[in-house]
Structure 1
């Protein structure tokens, strides 16, 4: 009887392994998708779930690689072209694009804007524009983004008149994206393991009229009353959005009027 049962379990296991080996696996930025790949298009991958006929698609920007059932591996440069941005100091790694298709499949984290104005009527217009782009990247990095889709750019040169003059100015607006969001369940498990006190140890701020961010060491208690996960975003107390975490603590982003903030919170003992 036991031998018969063991043989049955062995056959069942062997069947399961073979069945799994008969599927392809898409490795996206956030999950593994066992499937059957039907077609790889210019900007997307078309697939079906095992045992189904409904066609699904995923943008190539969200696909890291596909492991086919025959063992062949195809890596997608679209997903690996985005740099990891771990904090505001990595702002230079943020990608800014005016091509909407380049952010298809990424996760939207919010709208972003930046403005830079020359200090005098003789300010270099190109330098003013570069300062605006630099600030745009800083804001995106504070939001936990590594890509910005630029929706509008307005640049005005110096104006020198008899009665009035104005300096060069650049205004930028766009949408901030990331190719990888913090995992809600993993963050919640981390909080459950660290039930001690939490302390805000660093605050990074950037004002609407500034083109440089400021850093301040802090020592403030931090508490969490409510934690939600919606559309892939982790929100604390309807105010702070978690942009990253590690075993020692986490970073949150929030905005107060025309000022952006990124705060580091460490776990206590």
Structure 2
């Protein structure tokens, strides 16, 4: 009888020993590690395996999803660089303007919002005509000062994917949440009117005809944004894409109205400088290239204040 009792005590002890082990769950491993946790540091976690008590093994803290302790308490781990709370106090909104766009006949305005670490959404609005009045060069006459008088707008949206740092230095924040190199796919549409210049081949005289141009643009921008003192944004970028518009067909209409039906547009091979990019190619579709510099101001949207005692009472009831 006493042998049976001793055996039961042994089995019970083994069971308690196994259940007393802590478990580390790694992000890239299904089965947990049964062990005794020795140390939880800022960059790594040290443990002793249950089947090798003489060893102490370290794993990167960012590789650990959670630890279940002997007491039953569970501690979860997140990468601080991907945790919104890590950037507490940083402004998540930025309003920006194209630095050189007014000199090219338009003004670019941007509104960017961080939606999570490494990701932001950027809205764009372009006021065509708010800036220098462009002039048109007519290759058939010596008159080169025909004002375009461009007037219109375009709107667009882009999704920024920022490059995040691979590591953190001793509790020091590596960057602002809106700072870093990025890739931004974007789409935009626009409409504007301008003066087209055409020449009467019979008399040699020129005339101005006002037409509307519809544009659409799909692009990928590559850039880098710096944040100064959580207040000023400087964004430098280059982009390439595909542009579709009716600029050439409007040129053809103007030429036909003056000279009768035509079979081609004289400057169809000349790159078309749109407001924000340059399109290459014949007809209505072509490859686009562009670049620019943006400067802006950072801010936060304040939460609305509570109004009256009803809101306070509602919050107390929720608690």
Please tell me the TM-score bracket, short chain as reference: 0.3 to 0.5
Greater Rg over alpha carbons, structure? 2
Normalized per residue, the structure richer in helix is 1
Higher relative contact order, chain-length normalized (CA < 8 Å, sep 6+):
1
TM-score, with length taken from structure 2: 0.28
TM-score, with length taken from structure 1: 0.33
